[in-house]
Amino acid sequence: MSETTREPDARRIATDARDRVRFEEDALALSDQVYRVARHLVGSREEAEDLMQETYARAFRSWRSFQPGTNLRAWLLRILTNLNIDRGRRQQRTPDTQPLEEGDYFLYNKLEASSDGSGDEERIVQRLSQNDVVEALSEVPHDFRDVVVLVDIGDFTYADAAQILDIPIGTVMSRLHRGRRILKQAMAESAAGGEAA
Amino acid sequence: MTAYDPCAHCEEMMQQYMDRVLTDAERVEAEAHLNECSYCRKRYRFEVKLRQFVHQTVIEPMPVELKRRLANLRTPLE
């Protein structure tokens, strides 16, 4: 009798251990992609590294709450963004009354105006440096940056970004729209500053 | 009343067009305008290149040491 009750227990424990190992391996395999997003949600590499460690420690502890077959990368990013908010790394709230930023064509118009007019679109993009982009991204207020980073750098869909940040999809769309414009405005300023220097 | 400006409308729709979230009717309208308007077409091509550039340029490889630390967080095998 005792043999027959112990056996299913042993099997369950073995299955559980196997599932956990598989989960941990799957999560680790995604770490490069998670880091790519994490790095631009916070200000420094050190913060991103801390956040990654906290995220993976929590993910490994609560692996049972992950539903197999759903998006593991989004699940990890949800933990990461929650931790980021909990740790008070996002003190900055963006007032709704900011003046309207420039339109979508602003950056192109700026770069084209300062070129000799002979460049095609590719060459005009190349007027931006890596530093222009990274610096500009760090200037986008957090609420907007989170969405831009998830969608444009992390390649998440609007629906995934909404789930990760726990905001309605309409808010994702409006923040993305505005965040991209703020980013382009900051890139235009950064590029102009670089030329002046 | 402000006159309808197709280029301003195209500018408004551009990002959603690139995200492929417009309705079929809106997409057809955007494509028709891009076909006939070189001003907007140039800007559309720029936006496509810009997205690729931003996507590639911000990638910072994860430090090897961090990868090792994450691996160490795994539950030890019994």
What was the ipTM of the complex prediction? Answer: 0.88
pTM across the whole model? 0.86
Class of A2-86 in CATH:
mainly alpha
Assess if residue B77 is contained within a domain.
Answer: no
pLDDT tens digits, A164-185: 999 999 999 999 999 999 999 9
Per-residue pLDDT of chain A (197 residues; tens, 9 = 90+): 455 556 778 888 888 888 899 999 999 999 999 999 999 998 889 999 999 999 999 999 999 999 988 999 999 999 999 999 887 655 555 545 455 667 888 888 888 887 766 668 878 888 888 888 988 998 899 899 999 999 999 999 999 999 999 999 999 999 999 999 999 999 988 887 765 44
For every residue of chain B, DSSP letters joined together read -PPP-HHHHHHHHHHHHHTT-S-HHHHHHHHHHHHH-HHHHHHHHHHHHHHHHHHHHT--PPPHHHHHHHHHTSPPP-
What would the CATH number be for the domain defined by A106-196?
A: 1.10.10.10
Chain A interface with B: residues with Cβ < 8 Å: 17, 20-21, 24, 28, 31-32, 35-36, 39-40, 45, 49, 52-53, 56-57, 60, 103-105, 107-108, 121-122, 124-126, 128, 130, 133-134, 137, 151-153, 158, 173, 176-177, 180, 183-184
* Nearest-CA distance A163 → chain B (Å): 18
CATH 1.10.10.10 spans which residues of chain A?
106-196
Assess if residue B66 is contained within a domain.
Answer: yes
Domain of residue B34, residue span: 6-72
